[in-house]
Amino acid sequence: MAVNPTQTRIRNAAIRLFAKKGFHGVGIRELAQAAKVSPASLYHYIGSKEELLADIMWESLERLLSAAMLATTDVADPREKLGRLVTLHVVAHAVQSKETAVVDNELRSLAPKLRKRVIDKRDAYEQLWAETIEQGAEAGLFRSDHDGLARRALLEMCSGVARWYSTKGEIKLDTLASEFTDIALRSLGTGEAPPQPDMDRCRTIVKYTWGTKV
């Protein structure tokens, strides 16, 4: 999980370049130069270019999933649960926009074997959303979403943050999160004013999961 400084440099360079140019748009030599190693040395740290991509994607999803589970276990109210899922998802895509963009865009660059591991993780994560929405529907708090249409719409909306949000822009992270939570809950809601989730708890989890950001 990237403890070695050289490993970390390679990992970070790969995330930055893959996000900017796409997996196939980055050559090994360019990657090596950005990580300040020779192309040959690169292969002491990675199995192959593709494995490097798969590792990055899987670990990114692993962090997102564990953060989401941490935030939703023992939460009874589906509205609170969904609000936290949205907040974490949006904040993750805002502060880790590079690696989340890679996760969202580069699944196609993985051969079936490596792809499966990543897809399984992603499905496990999206399952959290599906369960939460279903619970809300059963409780009469959300409109039912038996096609998963609303879930997909909301996930795409929240993931899109990585494509346009800039931490240097005028929009504060808190504004972003609460606005998106609002939109999400009102999309699913039955009309009542949606409650805001426990922001402090989410902030703590974000800090714990992704480090010093936020």
Collapsing DSSP to helix, strand or coil, 115 comes out as helix
Q: Which is nearer to its own copies, 74 or 170 (CB)?
A: 170
In the bound complex, what is the minimum distance in angstroms from residue 143's beta carbon to its own copies? 9
| Measured distance CA(143)–CA(140) in Å, rounded | 7
210 binds, among DNA, its own copies, none (CB under 5 to 8 A by kind): none
Task: With contacts defined by CB under 8 A, name the span among 18-26, 38-46, 52-60, 199-207 that binds its own copies.
Answer: 18-26
Q: Which is nearer to DNA, 52 or 128 (CB)?
A: 52
CB 94 within 8 A of CB 162: yes
User: Rule CB under 8 A: is residue 24 a binding residue for its own copies?
Assistant: yes
Binds its own copies (CB under 8 A): choice among 160, 167, 190, 195? 160
DSSP, res 106: -
In the bound complex, what is the minimum distance in angstroms from residue 214's beta carbon to its own copies? 18
- Within 23-42, the residues that bind DNA by CB under 7 A are 24, 26-30, 37-42
Buried b (16+ CB within 10 A) or exposed e, 135-159: bbbeeebbeebeeeebbeebbebbb
Kindly provide the residue ranges of all beta strands, DSSP E only, lying in 51-151, ordered along the sequence: none
- Binding mask 125-144 toward DNA (x if CB under 7 A, else -) reads --------------------
In the bound complex, what is the minimum distance in angstroms from residue 23's beta carbon to DNA? 8
Q: How far is CA 93 from CA 64, 104, 107, 156, 195, in A?
A: 10, 10, 17, 11, 22
| Measured distance CA(171)–CA(18) in Å, rounded | 26
132 binds, among its own copies, DNA, none (CB under 5 to 8 A by kind): none
* Long-range CB pairs of 107-116, under 8 A, 24+ apart, other chains included: 107/57, 109/22, 109/23, 109/24, 109/50, 109/53, 110/50, 110/53, 110/54, 110/57, 111/50, 114/50, 114/51, 114/53, 114/54, 115/54
User: Rule CB under 8 A: is residue 102 a binding residue for its own copies?
Assistant: no
In the bound complex, what is the minimum distance in angstroms from residue 101's beta carbon to DNA? 19
Binds its own copies (CB under 8 A): choice among 37, 155, 202, 205? 155
Residues β-bridged to residue 142: 189
In the bound complex, what is the minimum distance in angstroms from residue 35's beta carbon to its own copies? 20
Q: Which is nearer to DNA, 51 or 138 (CB)?
A: 51
Binding stretches for DNA (CB under 7 A): 4, 6, 24, 26-30, 37-45, 48-50
